[in-house]
């Protein structure tokens, strides 16, 4: 009995010192660790004139260490240009890949801004939207509804040049213009 107790105690001590199968679970969990995490955050990018050009507010912002991407929840993005004025974009969630060259928005995406050449606001609704931060182009392949004042356009796919003030619906375009 004493010999069995000594062997069992030695085996237990060896497992504690050498590491057991539970250690593999801890290293797997470490690979999924998050980087920084912010709640109720506001990020501001200034323009050349020192005024805010892009302001991003999110309920949460979380960096993923595995691919260095950033996930955002309940996003509000304010974008200001000299030519096109102020625009606000809201979405349920977003993702910024590690290259920081785009912001991918999803879930109840709403874009609201001034429609300079017509009466009223421009309102764009879709389920997903990609914002290229380098070229300031917004696009989607999803169904889109565009309201400009009392007029409405619907289609599938859209490309907007924010700096140029251009909007192009790609296919299945239907419109209603009220005089």
> Which residues in the chain come in under a pLDDT of 70?
1-34, 82-84, 115-120
The pTM (predicted TM-score) of the whole model is 0.74
Q: What is the pLDDT of residue 101?
A: 86
Q: What is the pLDDT of residue 1?
A: 45
Tell the burial category of 26 from Cβ atoms under 10 Å away from its Cβ (0-12, 13-18, 19+): exposed
Q: What is the pLDDT of residue 89?
A: 92
Q: What is the pLDDT of residue 31?
A: 47
Q: What is the pLDDT of residue 14?
A: 53
Partners of 55 in the β-ladder: 44, 78
- Do the beta carbons of residue 114 and residue 85 sit within 8 Å? yes
């Amino acid at each position: 009995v004493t010999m069995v107790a000594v062997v069992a105690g030695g085996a237990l001590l060896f497992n504690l010192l050498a590491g057991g199968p539970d250690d593999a679970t801890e290293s797997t969990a470490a690979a999924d660790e998050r980087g920084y995490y912010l709640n109720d955050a506001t990020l501001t990018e200034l323009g050349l004139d020192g005024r805010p050009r892009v302001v991003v507010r999110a309920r949460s912002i979380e960096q993923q260490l595995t691919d260095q991407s950033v996930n955002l929840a309940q996003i509000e993005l304010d974008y200001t240009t000299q030519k096109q004025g102020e625009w606000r974009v809201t979405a349920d969630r977003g993702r910024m890949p590690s290259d920081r060259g785009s912001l991918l928005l999803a879930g109840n995406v709403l874009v609201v801004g001034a429609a300079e050449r017509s009466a009223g606001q421009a309102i764009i609704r879709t389920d997903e939207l990609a914002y290229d931060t380098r070229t300031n182009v917004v696009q989607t392949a999803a169904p889109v509804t565009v309201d400009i004042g009392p007029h409405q356009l619907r289609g599938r796919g859209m490309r907007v040049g924010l700096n140029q003030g251009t909007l192009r619906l790609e296919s299945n375009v239907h419109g209603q213009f009220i005089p």
